[in-house]
Structure 1
């Protein structure tokens, strides 16, 4: 089938296949680690509290914030691709959103995690890691 495809098409399909395999394997390795690190009561509060190191070292905070947002964007985009390619698309999208910072993010996180399939998937990963399940308040009134 690829024999008739010339030039950059074949190379592009090869890179796409390699990226698909890489994101699939990466999601299998990283998602359980990240899901297990979320505190069980992370989604119980109405508002997110301030981080303790918010005012200390503003230069380092800005660098970490930029890198965290870039990683979150990559995970989000990889999750969107995984909706069509092999991988755990919805969980990867959710974890990408969790890493990024934007207005209304906490409300969006609470809404997404309160949906059955996402919560069941994350709690299944947490159970396999020996961590208690996430506690989620009802979020139907958020959107």
Structure 2
């Protein structure tokens, strides 16, 4: 075991490993707090590809552009954090799903629908929603 630690210390400093551990703990706790709030607040038909999504439709065009930029930056951060959580503690798949829902790209809704239709993911989200008396997600 000591040889392994010495080998790791040759490539990565102890200070960096300590910081990575702190970041991992913070992201784990944050994901436990933030992800359920986001998933519970979603409309029940959010992942239904038949339901239209018109984000900030009645706002000034400049506000819409600024909002879209901010939304995509937040989505990218969630997506990266979710990917990292696949290897570190946290809710990686759910965090990535939230990140994808913030991003705007072609055929996004089809990708979201494919991910959300996975039985374990859908049941996890609907169980979370049920705890807060929210209706289960409907899919097309």
TM bracket (short chain): 0.7 to 0.9
Stretch deviating more after TM superposition (14-23 or 91-100): 14-23
In the alignment, structure 1 segments of 5+ residues that lack a partner are: 138-143
What are the equivalent positions in structure 2 for 1:19-98 lying under 5 Å apart? 19-46=23-50, 48-51=52-55, 53-54=56-57, 56-98=59-101
How far apart, CA to CA, are the structure 2 residues paired with 1:86 and 1:102? 28
In the alignment, structure 2 segments of 5+ residues that lack a partner are: none
For 1:129, the equivalent position in structure 2 comes to 132
- Tell whether 2:122 aligns with 1:119: yes
- CA displacement 1:69-105 (0-9 Å, x = unmatched): 1111111111111111111111011001001111111
Identify if the C-alpha distance between structure 1 residues 79 and 49 changes in structure 2 by more than 3 Å, giving closer, same or farther.
closer
TM superposition shift of 1:55: 5.9
Post-superposition, which runs of at least 4 consecutive aligned residues in structure 1 deviate over 6 A? Answer: none
Normalising to structure 1: TM-score of the pair? 0.83
RMSD between aligned residues: 2.2
Report the count of equivalent residues: 136
TM superposition shift of 1:121: 1.4
